[in-house]
Amino acid sequence: MREQRPNQQGPRPTRRGILLGGAVVAAGSLAAACTSNTEDDPEPAAGGGTLAGDNDKAGKQVTLGFSAPAADHGWIAAIAKNAEEQAKKYSDVTFKPVEPTNDINQQISAVESLISAKVNVLVILPNDGEQLNQVGRKAMDAGIPVVNLDRVFPDNLSYRTWIGGDNYGMGVSAGNYIGKKLKDKGVADPVIVEIQGIATLPLTQDRSKGFEDALKSHGFSVTAKQDAKFTVESGNQVASNLLQAHNKIDAMWNHDDDQGVGVLAAIKQSGRDEFFMVGGAGSANAMREIKGGGVLEATVTYSPSMAASAIKLARLIAQGKGMTDLVELQVPQSITLASETITKDNVDRYMPLGFES
């Protein structure tokens, strides 16, 4: 399952991305108070931030707590892997993960154990932002900054910094790729089908809205859409249904590369190849399909590399540093990752960031 965020322009209701983009908002007063430079922190460089390149040099020792859902999905598994591997790169970081779980109460208890252990910063990808909001606030009230990863807490006082993907942007990227290609081919009144994730989730609704808006800018609209459940099995079933319902399809967008494994299996079983497909997330197996040529021509990113970036940000916050490419003295409160479009032309560049579905 995927992330869930409120409908707002800053952190857009959540999943995936590679390069930092979108809005960067100044930190709130409470967040700044929790992370301001102290006598024990290194002095900031004159003119703002630290000197370029200094941030990766070893600084004071810090302990970073980490909590995420159980790795029962390729993307979630990659989140934990990215976080752990990034932490290992720093000699001044002690990485303290707790047992991953899909049980809300167990995750709350696990985070509370990290608060009791007095870690310097907490990185939390909550199973549900709303239900874990209070434990995030508890950490912040205890003076432990929280880096909220992807599924945002509704209360801004429950996190110091949010970093995550752009669901609306995913839809826009997919819609622009499909719309431009169909227009360039001179296709009139195309049949465009959409395989969603879980339809009731705000993240799915944001993806669909971005897709609809982008297609509209090219003069097209979605012919039919059906929701799946972010699983291989559901992707296979929904794709089979859509293929049976439409004798001819011009383009297909599948929201999620994990469920896309099932989608591609259904397409191959049907023997259909009159259309092209765009995926979503940036999995390694999707990239291999793109590189090999075939129905899947592109995928739009929502990369689990965001977890590695969350660890980098948590370390900077714990050490009282800013980001070297910014003039501000503190890490921003909000970072939305861009949704990139991966095609055969640039797939080799993105392959190192892919995850296995």
pLDDT tens, residue by residue, 204-214: 999 999 999 99
How far apart are alpha carbons 205 and 332 in whole angstroms?
Answer: 27
Is pLDDT at 70 greater than 80 in this prediction? yes
Task: Tell me the pLDDT band of 53, cut-offs 50, 70 and 90.
Answer: low
Number of Cβ within 10 Å of residue 8's Cβ equals 11
Question: What CATH number was assigned to the domain covering residues 20-164+304-337?
Answer: 3.40.50.2300
Ranges for all domains in the chain classified under CATH 3.40.50.2300:
20-164+304-337, 167-301+342-353
In the predicted model, what is the mean pLDDT of residues 215-237?
Answer: 96
In the predicted model, what is the mean pLDDT of residues 12-29?
Answer: 34
CATH topology of domain 167-301+342-353: Rossmann fold (3.40.50)
| Residue among 246, 245, 244, 228 at smallest CA distance from 236 | 228
Is pLDDT at 1 greater than 50 in this prediction? no
Name the one residue in this structure whose structure tokens are 């993907």: 165
Name the one residue in this structure whose structure tokens are 């592109």: 298
How far apart are alpha carbons 243 and 237 in whole angstroms?
Answer: 10
pTM of the entire structure?
0.80
